[in-house]
Each structure stands twice: as structure tokens, then as C-alpha cells.
Amino acid sequence: MTSAGVRAAVSIAQALLAQIPDDAEVELFSSDLRTAEEVAELFGVKPVLDRRLREKSYGEAEGRPQEWLDQRFIPPPAVGERMDHDEGVKGAENKASWAQRIYAAMDEILRNPCEHQIIVTHGGSLTCIVASWIQDADRVSRLCQLPGALRQHHHTARRRLLPQPPSRQPRRHRHLHSAKAG
């Protein structure tokens, strides 16, 4: 993480912790990737590391130069099915699988009775977390159409609506706090 990223993470941690009463129980769930784990440590709460909170996997492209990915990447169609699109990279997750993985993690997290939960994840995954939390994937997917709202490697064109998160029973008021890593 860059020094600017560390400063931003410290600022976010301080702001979120200021909203939580000192005597309140806090649960912190984090992606198990190093950057998210580093951010989670700033909260002073032992994190529950969950690989399902990771960013979308690009399979064998991960760790390789961008040029390598550029030569193999198949952009999704401008119209039609985009969530199940195969991007042409062996082992890469499609967007539907990625979103379903995040929704499964969120279903488990939100079943916990703790009133104050902090989730540390990555930029794109945060969109799916918010969709799951507010139980309105359509609204969040419209936000994904705004430039920079959902960062992807190759395109910012309109995206098909995210799959709806599994329906849950209405729950009592709770506070979900989120911090973006990396």
C-alpha cells in the first residue's frame, strides 16, 4: 500500500471507530489478501479473514504484466449478457460468480447478531457488499454504470444488472461499516 493509501486507511479507521460506542461489541471481517489485512489491523479488532471478500479473480493473469492480459482479454458484449461473460483468461471468475461469492459471505456475516460490523475489502467487491447489505442489487448496479464506480481492467461501458442477492428475513436495525483496501 502506498503512503497515501496508508494515510487514507488510518483516516477511515478513525472515522468509523468514532461512530461506534467505546463499550460496543465490534466484529471485523476482512479479505484475506495482504492489503485488506493491513487495513483491518488499523481497527484494533481481531479480523475474521474471509477469502470470499477478495476482489474478482483474473485467474492466470494475476501477477502478470498488463500487456499479457491485454493480449488475451475478450471484452464483454456492448449489449446482452455481461455477468456470465467468459473474458478469455483461464481460471478467471466471471462477474456473476464473483457477485454470488460476495453475497454468500454477506449472508453469513449478516446472520451474526453483532450490531457493529466492519468489513474490509477491495473496491469492486465493495459494490457487491453494499448491494447485499441494502438488498437492492438493481440500485447498486445502476451506480456501477457511473465512471469509476466499479473499476474493471478494460471497460467502463454499461453493465448488466447484478444478480439479486438471496432474499433474507427482515432484520433489526444494525450498523454496517465498510473500509476499502487497495
Q: Has residue 19 been placed in a domain?
A: yes
User: Which pLDDT score, from 0 to 100, does residue 153 have?
Assistant: 27
What pLDDT, on a 0 to 100 scale, did the predictor assign at position 79?
A: 84
Would you say residue 69 lies in a domain?
no
pLDDT of residue 54: 93
In a domain, 78, yes or no: no
pLDDT at 167: 47
pLDDT at 51: 95
The number of domains in the chain is 1
Asked whether residue 177 is assigned to any structural domain, the reply reads yes
The answer to whether residue 79 sits within a structural domain is no
Distances (CA, A) of 161 to 35, 114, 127: 29, 30, 12
pTM, whole model, 2 decimals?
Answer: 0.72
Alpha-carbon gap, residue 71 to 86, rounded angstroms: 15
Evaluate whether residue 70 is within a structural domain.
no
The residues, ordered by sequence, that sit 6+ positions from 29 with a Cβ below 8 Å of its Cβ are 47, 48, 50, 53, 105, 109, 117, 118, 119, 120
Report the pLDDT value the prediction gives residue 33, as an integer from 0 to 100.
87
Does residue 112 form part of some domain?
yes
Q: What are phi and psi of 156, to 5 degrees?
A: -125, 20
Q: What's the pLDDT at 63?
A: 93
Domain that holds residue 162: 3-57+92-181
Find the CATH number of the domain harbouring 119. 3.40.50
Question: Distance between CA atoms of 45 and 30, rounded to whole angstroms?
Answer: 11
Q: Judge whether 125 lies within some domain.
A: yes
- Which residue type sits at 143? L
Q: Can you list the residues of the chain whose pLDDT is less than 70? A: 136-182
